[in-house]
Chains A and B, each alone.
Chain A
């Protein structure tokens, strides 16, 4: 019996050993080869035990801040928030902080899901203790434009895992995880009491694996663009669960009519229009469990009707053998993305410089918030980087701008959304650190006027008749406490002349 037990132990250590071999191989890989338009892609190296390294969340101590290069200074903009995910600046300089916690209730389909849930709880610092209320949109007002917040008001509470917002036409659009809501809101208001109107339902639970729905307003002010992440890592919940997902939707903000604008984008976030060219850009989290250096997350411009590979392939025509049946026809049509950001960095936030008051080195480019890796033997991400642009295209290597979120094996914070505040400084929503950081030019320079996140060009016609030809459901209270029932009502309002976008399977077809 004793001998046999030893044998069992050696089987165990053998399988651990296989995992370790994969670890050793990743040690020599220069990750900077995966930053830029033509990343080096090694062969897939899936290991028996997936690479796993999750940072323990320790939070920021008094007087601790992230680090910045010379010419920039960093300070707390707002603290004691609860999971701030995104920041959004209104045209008058007020900043909305969207605090959000992912929805619960993703079914446990496999033994692996138990383990995964436990690991993710560590990565989000959600272990132990009573959870503070999140799912709140808070307004931060810097009345004298000195870079410190003077007033703080909770605008909306009890939302259903909100992420993206947009403001136009005295209307605040909120993308919660299963629906886009529209609230009447005039600049300067300190509360929202009016009821929300449902603009359009979005793919939600019960699985809702990638739940963050980001939002951007088109430069003509008419359309909303919504990011809808995939329902799995690599279709392990079946292709049926991916209808309308791994895509960016275009939604008519007046009628709610929605369609898939671009697809094959596994988990897109940080939707932003390039102010120079008016092109939509996004950052995308690519698939896991192909090894520590696959697949690089990326930033890309989004073409109408574009298909970017997920799930069948990555970076153009690199086939993912885990997807069955294979679809060579889809792989053939896959567009490679524009700019790789390195593997597993978990890019979640993107903002362009927007004529900010930051030093000249950051005058034209994109800031990207990298939440940080877990499916890797050494940490990657956990910082904010800057990619310079020229003529609307990335023109150089990504540079670290804000670092120090990770120290050893402990994370003090994790950056998510980024934005430019009303004075032209960079804001970073740090969900693990429960803080919004403000990174400003160290000479104290500010912009003459606040610049809103939603850039509506002056000559576009903005319709104020938002209710033309449509009856809207009113929901009874602020926020989304009745998601299920309201969804169905709104679905019933969809015109039946063409199949609604959420019925289409990613990729977009016949656009």
Chain B
């Protein structure tokens, strides 16, 4: 029976989700910034940035869910699973991001002002709540927050 090297054991304990979980937090926060930039300037470039940031956050956030499920079934990473409330908040954030990208999918000013901007702000608040809540748990290690 082969004895795993220390390195291999570390790799087996590495939660894949930690590669993907931060993306929605980063992307959706930046989307709030670009939404504000659009609101203030009217420059369409910022609106396009927001749409891409929301899209990237959603795609990589979805990968995070898959990775999280994989981590759940791996014995070495299972203890690092996020607590239920953290996972719930994460899914709410992704849900808001999805709704927000539909709003941002519209054409022109009203694709951002006011509802897109409002959802971006609410999403950001949820991100803060998720961080505050998770920071108290060991999940902060997995989430690198």
Contact = CB atoms under 8 A, between A and B. Distances in A.
Nearest to A321: B110
A289 B99 contact: no
A120 interface: no
A232 B54 CA distance: 22
Given A3-B84, A111-B55, A322 B95 contact: no
A7 interface: yes
A110 B52 contact: yes
A492 B84 CA distance: 68
Contact of B106 (A109, A232, A322, A324): A322
Of the four ranges (under 10, 10 to 19, 20 to 34, 35 or more), the interface on chain B belongs to: 35 or more
Given A11-B99, A232-B107, A323-B108, A110 B51 contact: yes
B101 interface: yes
B41 to A, nearest CB: 10
Main secondary structure of the interface of B (DSSP, over half): helix
A122 interface: no
A232 to B, nearest CB: 7
A320 B52 CA distance: 25
A236 B108 contact: yes
Contacts of B31: none
Contacts of A11: 91-92, 95-96, 98-99
B79 interface: no
Contacts of A237: 44
Contacts of B84: 1, 3-4
Contacts of B110: 46, 321-322
Contacts of B87: 1, 4
Contacts of B51: 110-112
B21 interface: no
Which one of A1, A232, A238, A288 has the greatest number of beta carbons of chain B within 10 Å? A1
Nearest to B112: A324
B102 interface: yes
A21 to B, nearest CB: 14
A288 B106 CA distance: 10
Nearest to A10: B95
B42 A324 contact: yes
A444 to B, nearest CB: 50
Given A4-B84, A8-B91, A111 B52 contact: yes
Interface in B62-102: 65, 68-69, 72, 81, 84, 87-88, 90-92, 94-96, 98-99, 101-102
B133 interface: no
Contacts of A493: none
A7 B91 contact: yes
A48 B48 contact: no
B68 A7 contact: no
Interface in B30-71: 42-44, 47-48, 51-52, 54-55, 65, 68-69
Contacts of A5: 65, 91
Nearest to B38: A324
Contacts of B91: 4-5, 7-8, 11
B107 A289 contact: yes
Contact of B72 (A1, A288, A289): A1
A46 B104 CA distance: 12
Contacts of B72: 1
23 contacts: A1-B72, A1-B87, A3-B88, A4-B84, A4-B88, A7-B92, A8-B65, A8-B94, A8-B95, A11-B96, A11-B99, A12-B98, A15-B99, A49-B102, A50-B106, A110-B52, A111-B52, A236-B108, A289-B106, A320-B108, A322-B106, A322-B108, A323-B109
Given A12-B95, A109-B48, A110-B52, 4 more contacts: A1-B68, A8-B91, A110-B105, A233-B107
Interface of A: 1, 3-5, 7-8, 11-12, 15, 46, 48-50, 109-112, 232-238, 288-289, 320-325
The 8 lowest CB-CB distance pairs between A and B, nearest first, are A322-B108, A11-B95, A324-B109, A111-B55, A236-B107, A8-B91, A48-B102, A4-B91
